[in-house]
């Protein structure tokens, strides 16, 4: 039986399914793998199931020129932590788990929108601190989302799911920035210029893949273009945002607030963000539901099963 290395503990159902066809070793730590651990995984196992934070860069593949591993079945839709070109050059296939994360990630985007716009995090802290003096007509007035305009940066599966929720649930007008137009089952307007989009909307949501092409896509110019009452939401990858520029925009009042599920140097969160009341900070909860994480794991196992039988990979990247 071929050997599979799983880099983090996963739901029991996923591990049980994997063990039907593989000799499975599960790493017990939840920390990202070290370079030495990654080199051993390529050298000693036929397949690896890695995830976010396991930085399989070109230098890792170069250090194992005759790798035993033939596939990295990534747990997650994002795979910018894997140098796919270097993996292919080493004869190693890479897959991901795109469909399983769409709705859960979109739900977190709406959670952040509501929490940020209606000052929910700030309000909860007030109550927990015992500092709430009671209701009054001008208490903690936030931004009413219904009927506002949302801008989606990246109209892939997740971007479309966010837009659908905004339009059908809140009656929001939808604007979006994407490389190509999308045929959508609801009204949405494509805006060719990202700065123009930022200037038009009440809520701006980043929903693009990570990687070199999108690093710091949301920069000082984008935040300067936004309206002072507008809120910025990020559920994509942390390095999509120039975090220093976002902090400056929030501190100066250039934008009204932000909701973040991911961070540029994750898990490090700048103290400046932690100290701000107009920022909602979540610990990368985008797919944090048991059924979703199980679905992601089973999709990764399906990719492994296809590879083992020589069938086309369902989710090759």
Share of the chain above pLDDT 70, in %: 100
Question: 195 and 140 in contact (C-beta within 8 Å)?
Answer: no
Indicate if 53 and 155 belong to the same structural domain: no
The model's confidence at residue 149, banded by pLDDT at 50, 70 and 90, is very high
Indicate if 45 and 159 belong to the same structural domain: no
The model's confidence at residue 129, banded by pLDDT at 50, 70 and 90, is very high
Residue 317 lies in a domain: no
11: containing domain: 3-96+289-309
Residue 65 lies in a domain: yes
- Which run of H or E residues covers position 292? helix 290-309
Query: For the residues 180-204, what does the mean pLDDT come to?
Result: 97
Indicate if 60 and 169 belong to the same structural domain: no
Residue 225 lies in a domain: yes
Question: What is the domain-level CATH number for residue 136?
Answer: 3.40.50.720
Residue-wise pLDDT for 270-282, tens only, equals: 999 999 999 999 9
The model's confidence at residue 39, banded by pLDDT at 50, 70 and 90, is very high
- Say what the pLDDT of residue 106 is: 98
Query: For the residues 72-76, what does the mean pLDDT come to?
Result: 97
For strand 173-177 and strand 23-26, is the pairing parallel, antiparallel, or unpaired? unpaired
The model's confidence at residue 295, banded by pLDDT at 50, 70 and 90, is very high
Q: How many structural domains compose the chain?
A: 2
Q: How far is CA 286 from the centre of its chain?
A: 6
Average pLDDT across the chain, whole number? 97
Residues annotated as part of the active site: 237, 266, 284
DSSP character string of 145-197: -TT-EEEEE--SHHHHHHHHIIIIIH--EEEEE-SS----SS--EE-S-HHHH
């Amino acid at each position: 039986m071929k050997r599979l290395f799983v880099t983090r503990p996963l739901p029991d159902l996923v591990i049980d399914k994997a063990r039907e066809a593989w000799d499975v070793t599960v790493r017990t730590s939840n920390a990202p793998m070290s370079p030495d651990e990654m080199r051993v995984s390529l050298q000693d196992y036929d397949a690896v199931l890695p995830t976010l934070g396991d930085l399989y860069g070109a230098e890792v593949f170069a250090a194992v020129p005759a790798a035993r591993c033939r596939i990295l079945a990534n747990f997650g839709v994002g795979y910018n932590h894997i140098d796919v070109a270097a993996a292919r050059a080493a004869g190693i296939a890479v897959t991901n788990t795109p469909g399983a994360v769409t709705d859960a990630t979109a739900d977190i985007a709406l959670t952040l929108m509501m929490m940020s716009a209606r000052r929910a995090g700030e309000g909860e802290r007030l109550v927990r601190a015992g500092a709430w003096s009671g209701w009054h007509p001008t208490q903690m007035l936030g931004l009413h989302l219904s009927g506002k305009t949302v801008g989606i940066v990246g109209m892939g599966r997740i971007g479309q799911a966010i837009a659908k929720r905004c339009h059908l649930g809140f009656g929001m007008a939808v604007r979006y920035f994407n490389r190509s137009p999308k045929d959508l089952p609801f009204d949405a307007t494509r805006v060719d210029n990202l700065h123009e989009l930022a200037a038009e909307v009440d809520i701006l949501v980043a929903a693009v893949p990570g990687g070199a092409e999108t690093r710091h896509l949301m920069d000082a110019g984008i935040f300067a273009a936004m309206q002072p009452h507008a809120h910025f939401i990020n559920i994509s990858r942390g390095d999509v945002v120039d975090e220093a520029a976002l902090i400056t925009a929030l501190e100066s009042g250039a934008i009204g607030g932000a909701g973040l599920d991911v961070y540029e140097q994750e898990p490090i969160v700048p103290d400046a963000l932690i100290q701000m009341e107009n920022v909602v900070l979540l610990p990368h909860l985008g797919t944090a539901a048991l059924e979703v994480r199980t679905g992601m794991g089973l999709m990764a196992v399906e990719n492994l099963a296809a590879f083992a039988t020589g069938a086309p990979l369902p989710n090759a990247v």
